[in-house]
Structure 1
Amino acid sequence: MDSMRTDARRNYTQLLAAARAVFTEQGTDASLREVARQAGVGIGTLYRHFPTREALLEALLGEGFEALRAQAVELLDAPDPGEALAAWLRGFGVASTRYEGLPASVMEALQDPASRLHASCEGLRTAATELLARAQRSGRVRRDLTASELLATANAMAWAARQSTGAAELSDRYLSLLMEGLLTRPGAPTQDGRGGM
């Protein structure tokens, strides 16, 4: 019985390692048979652990999503709410460019409550909402922006960066430009007509 559990744990670990390698090289639409082959197991073993591609993605991404959520909680105490939001978005951008096709998977999961990835992605939306609201209350970020719009825009920029070499560097550049557009300037009118900061 213990040996069976040990084998199952080993297969699970090998499948995740293989999925990470295959998705990095070929994107999130890569063949699951190729994932199983690289893990050294049959396709049936893969489906016993991960009944769907989405279940595999959820297992693969869950740890990273949780790290982003935890980072957001820590940044809620940062002295500059605008910089805190920018720092979190950079981490989100890097995570979103890890695999080809990932930005689309994240957006689909955010919009589909029945999706297995939805709960993990919803944690990201909650984290983004809290950071954004704090930055907006401080007057550092325009008030007419929602967390969903922010994530959609950041995701789109991550997708655009992923189409070129140097995706991580481009993603950081695009997100910096995004933040420059979102930040209010001292004395400048905000969307509700009041002066910023």
Structure 2
Amino acid sequence: MADDNGSDAGVVRAPKGVRSASPQRKRRRLDPEDREREIVDGAVAFFAEVGFDGGLRDLAKRLGITHQNLFRYFPTKEALIDRVYEEVYLGRWQVEWEVLLADRTIALEQRLTQFYRAYLQAIFRYDWVRIFVFAGLKGVGITQRYLELVQARVVEPLARELRVTTGLPDTAEVPLLPEETEMAWGLHGELFYLAVRRWVYEMKVPDDLDTVVRVAVVRFLAGAPSAMRLLHEGTLRAPAPRSGRRARPARRNPR
């Protein structure tokens, strides 16, 4: 299957509008700030295209600079990866999202719809998705750090707001149950997976993501409150597994 640039099957390259890491550039003199910016931008494109098995010597070659020059700015690969995390993930995070999710003057359906429409606009990008997946497979820490951020600032707040909307005790009285957090992860993961399908599997996804978000939120709110009530009533919990050992028959008293 060809990608946006018409490449051969099995090779996913940067789409049009995203700078590829492949061509080697001619060396040119830059101010330190501009050189650092060039390295960071090049690293984002490089890791998104080839993953974290790619070496810094290859990156330096593609940037048209020496390995030693790259090390002047980032003495270790870990330091460069940390900067990529700040650039791609923290740099695109909007504090306004957290404020919106917590604003109880707005109906929860409207809050979730507005949030996920804005969130998908931020993450629905070649570099964001592919670096995230490569990092998770390689265990370089980007994915784990970001998911901890999402759980603390999106998933758990979403579960708390659902609890309030459902009319159940506030989390100050009854802490969130693991199953409640999983409900929130379900909605989040469903919408995130659209980006994985597009930028990892090269599958077609709907052009109208706003409608997809609205449908997902409405469906979530149609079922999650009822499930949460039943969970608190205890009717959804699986029965405790029975012991595999059979009870011994009672011994008869000797006559």
TM-score scaled to structure 2, two decimals?
A: 0.52
Residue 95 of structure 1 and its aligned partner are, at CA, apart by 3.0
Counterpart for residue 71 of structure 1: 96
Aligned counterparts, 1:119-138, within 5 A = 119-128=145-154, 129-138=156-165
Counterpart for residue 213 of structure 2: 175
Aligned length: 179
Task: Give the 3 Å change call, closer, same or farther, for CA 56–165 of structure 1 in structure 2.
Answer: farther
Structure 2 unaligned blocks of 5 or more: 1-29, 168-178, 232-255
Task: Give the 3 Å change call, closer, same or farther, for CA 178–167 of structure 1 in structure 2.
Answer: same
8 Å contact from structure 1 (residues 103, 156) kept in 2? no
Give the RMSD, CA atoms, in angstroms.
4.1
CA distance in 1, matches of 2:206, 2:82: 26
Task: Give the 3 Å change call, closer, same or farther, for CA 158–103 of structure 1 in structure 2.
Answer: farther
Secondary structure in structure 2 of the residue aligned to 1:101: helix
Residue 170 of structure 1 and its aligned partner are, at CA, apart by 5.6
1:10 lines up with 2:34 in the alignment:
yes
Residue 150 of structure 1 and its aligned partner are, at CA, apart by 3.6
CA distance in 1, matches of 2:213, 2:51: 23
8 Å contact from structure 1 (residues 97, 158) kept in 2? yes
Counterpart for residue 184 of structure 1: 222
1:152 maps to which of 170, 178, 189: 189
CA distance in 1, matches of 2:204, 2:162: 30
8 Å contact from structure 1 (residues 94, 171) kept in 2? no
Aligned counterparts, 1:24-103, within 5 A = 26=49, 31=54, 35-37=59-61, 39-46=63-70, 49=74, 51-52=77-78, 54-65=81-92, 67-68=93-94, 70-75=95-100, 76-77=102-103, 79-98=106-125, 99=127, 100-103=129-132
Q: Which has the larger radius of gyration?
A: 2
8 Å contact from structure 2 (residues 46, 59) kept in 1? yes
Question: Which of the pair has the greater relative contact order for Cα pairs under 8 Å at 6+ separation?
Answer: 1
CA distance in 1, matches of 2:157, 2:225: 23
Task: Give the 3 Å change call, closer, same or farther, for CA 171–189 of structure 1 in structure 2.
Answer: closer
TM-score scaled to structure 1, two decimals?
A: 0.63
8 Å contact from structure 1 (residues 81, 138) kept in 2? yes
Residue 138 of structure 1 and its aligned partner are, at CA, apart by 1.4
Structure richer in helix, relative to its length: 1
Percent of aligned pairs with the same residue? Answer: 15
Equivalent position amino acid for 2:37 in 1: T
Report Cα offsets for 1:73-130 as digits up to 9, x if no partner.
2202251222212222233323332125245257669xx7x82554344222211121
Residue 178 of structure 1 and its aligned partner are, at CA, apart by 2.3
Structure 1 unaligned blocks of 5 or more: 1-5
